[in-house]
Structure 1
């Protein structure tokens, strides 16, 4: 067994982990970051999901480094792709013209930008990236985590990693049980949180669905139909009580109103991508599934460049509610989620209704070259809910809900370390709950939600902060995860420079003010602007 040490150890290379690494590195710290999959970037890359963002993202409500990421993706297309003259002139270019976000793009574009942001730090020797490893053990000495063992599953090699400050940026809060750090999963009880939408009793195994996404295009006249899945009949007839139709179909509940309706799916659509504008306040954008999460629009490129739009399938029909990844048999549920997605693809290729009265789109082609896999599916499942620390401050429904607060103005905290905005958007759950959609106000990220109640040198850097099952539905999206990670990395560096524990920074008004001032100087927005229209 080998050993490595750095100032900051980041377990997990998702968006929060990347942002944390950049933040600590830019403050002169040495960093080790681990990642299970080939690509850094988590939900944006290995999970293949384009950015989910709020309406005002082009003006405010994100950190400066997050804007570097977004600008870098746009520049990637401007430098390397034969854009049309009109697309090249568009200052807020949306490469996919998808309706879920004003920045829908291929995962490889994000990989290129992330790798570029980290490259000088790798060259300096201050950043070490360990790919293909997963945390398997942790050692605690009192209230300090002294080391974490990671294992390369392919070669069976273990490495012991140590650091002054350890960040958990994994997708499911994997370090928390390994280090015996107090945490929760699933639904908290109304008695514990006071949340009106919470159940009477805690439901730790009742968690949001996760999804195994895939990428497709459509080549008319060709047949790319996959082999019929062995368990296709089972998936084809699966129908939760609240769904209103088999899940493997185009019919299901509206996430906001719960009204049962049928979506359209038109691979031959010939829209004007520059006329599309994503606005999640007004419309979820999922009425037409081909444009919903489109990640490259054919008509933004010179004619003949590509034969089809490229589309990510991350739709309600592939939400897996058969079990969790934090309970027993996670590998069983991972495989089942992929089988559900495979069944959806086969249905699209063979049974989906066409405008001409026919059925099936055999020209739908899996694009494993886009996802970086042999089977055409994303490298990793798209995970919406993590284990969450028991924190010094837990964000609850009452902090976000416009109905409960009586207005839509931003919630403010004295210990703010960033901002975020999204509706409380909970997908169907493993406990049989339908969508839960709650209009929420813009919010700040309280430092108290990043401080575990007991352990002194561990900071969460993703979806594992002190939120509830309900408020996680607003905090789990890309720009918020990035801001959490960036502030966690900055906090780690600040504590190392001054030989402090993170909780000491929050407890001392002078230290807190100094830390917040540093965040502001590096481009972290601590408050929302005073504008109307929230």
Structure 2
């Protein structure tokens, strides 16, 4: 449409998602499945963020306790993972090795259990939208950025987005609910929302590893990922970048073969594992984020192995681009760094067998949508972060401060995450890594106290910079987006504002999430397909049940005889809340074959038929107090002596 014919196009919908990042995909799917009309506006030609335009569909999940059995993530995310696998399993001829894999990994990547090439991920996302009803109710506008908004009486009325193409009109998106779906929080300044950026001062959140003084420009590095395949005997050396020597001087200390455990004085090999310092293994650099391993396939369409380089060599930490007027120039310099690292790989990287340079590395523009084989969009680790109703901090998740098996308990949990606190080198500050506890995502971290029809559907939620290091990964960003989409649908159906909800409303919303297969509390042995999943999750999040301080197990199918103290604990609490459970306690506790999961289903259905007691709905984030370890149903029985045997027979 000619810009002269129509200066502005008005688009109406139920939910507008401004920014089409990875979390936005989950949000859109949730809204579509609830029957809503959805509009997504996205800056780049491809929606999907990390998985597509940023060329990083190497799902960065914490291998344990994230489980192939549907633990630690939702049913929808599990479906996305399986669709990525099926793209290769059903679309290509596999080798014997590929067919024999119990959980297929197209690239045999050491960093991820599920990988895919960006166009494959885009195709899976498009199919996901179609199956969710997107053909009739979803509109996507690419190459658009938000520039203005109208807000009245705490409600966003519309958001205006402009195209980078002179032939496209501006969009005025009118919606009942708005979600921030990008990874830099571009809507926050447009909406005049307070936000966090860079490093907070230690005095603000009392985080042990925060600096004494705030450093707003100290933002994590971002990366232009490189897609390449290895063609034995080939030569695909790019032209030497004009600024190659500049980057060798400025960033050359990081030009080495990188993989977990490697460093400049102890680099990885390209194709072989090695023992590094202290005899710790260092995996091959090529297979660190490998998308396609030729060993998995017997198909002429995949003749060579393909990988993504997203390492210290192309991590750009020299400037913060967030909110800068010259952001595109900064991105241009970061892209030049990536080209220089690619040239170094092709010409100077030490070869495993001796010599230098891997000219056989062919950049793959067909995988990135950009002519140089470098991602069309930068991989953003950290942008603006909403000053939300709830701010998650280092103290909530770090093993140094959270001493139990899980991070802080949030009564308003809407999803789960698990990853180390991994903060890449920052503009003006070094990297930081800490172990973390498996953690929850509180609803309050998605919501602003300033607006009534808004939520965050990506990594720009209310977390500190340190907590962001654990909340920025694929599965967590999806979980945030899915919860935001579900909340938008719930708020519109129930005609409520997007302020923190509690009591009956919170219970109803969490019930809705759990029925959709979203976990709220960490149990490594309870999947979203478990018949007791709903009861276990909802009774745990409201703290009718305590959770072990020592492990993530629930042991749902032990008998009540094995967990009598825990059963008594549950019924004692029901007594405190004045719940009339009739003869249920006698029936399920005195019959030794009753499984604990069955007991919880009885209790949950009882509460559903009656009115949940208000004190239970008001349960707080506070710990249970001094609950003895023997309470949990994981005690290994000792052997019997003669007295025990006699008593048992009697």
TM-score after normalising by structure 1: 0.91
Aligned residue in 2 for 1:367: 364
Q: What residue in structure 2 maps to residue 399 of structure 1?
A: 396
- Alignment match of 1:334 (pick from 331, 335, 345): 331
Whether the 8 Å CA contact 2:259–2:282 is kept in 1: the answer is: no
Match of 2:532 in 1: none
What stretches of structure 2 of length at least 5 have no aligned partner? 1-7, 274-278, 526-549, 553-650
Paired with 1:364 and 1:396, the residues of 2 have a C-alpha distance of 42
Secondary structure of 2:286 counterpart: helix
**CA–CA distance in structure 2, aligned partners of residues 135 and 141 of structure 1:** 18
SS of the aligned residue for 1:290 comes to coil
Show CA shifts across 1:233-264 (max 9, x none): 1111225xxxxx72223379958xxx764222
Q: Is 1:266 matched up with 2:275?
A: no
Partner of 1:509: 503
Deviation at 1:478, TM superposition (A): 0.5
Rounded to whole Å, the distance in 2 between the matches of 1:305 and 1:36 is 32
- In structure 1, list runs of 5 or more residues that go unmatched: 240-244, 272-282
Answer yes or no: is 1:133 the counterpart of 2:147. Answer: no
CA contact 2:414–2:518 (8 Å) conserved in 1: yes
Equivalences for residues 352-501 of structure 1 within 5 A: 352-431=349-428, 433-501=429-497
CA contact (8 A) 1:211 1:319 kept: yes
Instruction: Say if 2:15 is the partner of 1:8.
Output: yes
Cα distance in 1 between the residues matched to 2:382 and 2:421: 13
1:94-116 per-position Cα deviation (integer Å, ceiling 9, x unaligned): 10111111112211221111100
1:99 and 1:286 in contact (8 A); partners too = no
Q: 1:176 aligns with which of 165, 177, 188?
A: 188
Say if 1:305 and 1:451 are closer, same or farther in 2 by CA, change over 3 A: closer
Q: 2:73 aligns with which of 54, 62, 66?
A: 62
1:114 aligns with 2:125: yes
Q: How far is 1:507 from its partner? A: 3.3
Q: 1:251 to 1:365 in 2, by over 3 A?
A: closer
Greater alpha carbon shift after TM alignment, 512-521 vs 214-223: 214-223
Conserved 8 A contact 2:98-2:295: no
Aligned with 1:289: secondary structure?
Answer: coil
Instruction: Say which of 34, 51, 63 aligns to 2:59.
Output: 51
Structure with greater Cα Rg: 2
Query: Structure 1 pair 77/250, CA: closer, same or farther in 2 (3 Å)?
Result: closer
Q: CA RMSD in A?
A: 2.1
Q: Does 1:20 align with 2:12?
A: no
- Tell me how far apart the structure 1 counterparts of residues 242 and 145 of structure 2 sit (CA, whole Å): 31
How far 1:85 moved relative to its partner? 3.2
Q: Distance in 2 between matches of 1:224 and 1:105?
A: 23
CA offsets, 1:90-147, max 9 Å, x none?
2310101111111122112211111001014566521111122111111221322111
C-alpha distance in 2 between matches for 1:344 and 1:286 = 20
Which digits, 9 at most, give the CA deviation of each residue in 1:212-240, with x for residues without a partner?
A: 0011112222221111111111111225x
The farther-off stretch of 200-209 and 399-408 is 399-408
CA distance in 1: counterparts of 2:16 and 2:32, whole angstroms: 12
**8 Å contact from structure 2 (residues 158, 175) kept in 1:** yes
Q: Which moved more, 1:400-409 or 1:203-212?
A: 400-409
Contact between 2:451 and 2:498, CA under 8 Å: does it hold in 1? no
In the other structure, the counterpart of 1:526 is 520
Q: Distance in 2 between matches of 1:304 and 1:72?
A: 22
Match of 1:76 in 2: 87
Partners in 1 of 2:190 and 2:282 — Cα distance?
A: 39
Aligned partners of 1:349 and 1:360 also within 8 Å: yes
Q: Measure the CA separation in 2 of the matches of 1:286 and 1:435.
A: 19
Aligned mate of 2:342, from 342, 345, 355: 345
How many residues were matched structurally?
Answer: 510
Relative distance call for 1:449 and 1:299 in structure 2 (3 A) is: same
Partner of 2:566: none
Quick one: distance in 2 between partners of 1:143 and 1:57? 41
With over 3 angstroms needed to count, the CA separation of the structure-2 counterparts of 1:124 and 1:335, relative to structure 1, is closer
Residue 40 of structure 1: CA displacement?
1.8
- SS for the counterpart of 2:174 is strand
Over 3 Å counting, the alpha-carbon distance change for 1:112 and 1:444 in structure 2 is same
Q: Return the offset for 1:57.
A: 3.3
Range with greater deviation from structure 2 (468-477 or 314-323): 314-323
Distance 1:486 1:261, change over 3 A: same
Moved more, 283-292 or 160-169: 283-292
* Conserved? CA contact 1:225–1:362, under 8 Å: yes
Mapped contact 1:208–1:321 kept (Cα < 8 A): yes
Deviation at 1:77, TM superposition (A): 0.7
- Residue 290 of structure 1 and its aligned partner are, at CA, apart by 0.7
Find the aligned partners of 1:459 and 1:347 in 2 and give their Cα distance. 43
CA drift of 1:464 comes to: 0.8
Contact residue 251 and residue 262 of structure 1 kept, 8 A: no
Verify the 8 A CA contact 1:12 1:168 in the aligned structure 2: yes
Contact 1:253 1:261 in 2 (8 A): no
**Aligned residue in 2 for 1:289:** 285
Ranked by relative contact order (alpha carbons within 8 Å, sequence separation 6 or more), the top structure is 1
- Identify the residue that residue 160 of structure 2 maps to in structure 1: 149
SS of the counterpart of 1:216?
strand
Distance in 1 (alpha carbons) for counterparts of 2:405 and 2:347 = 46
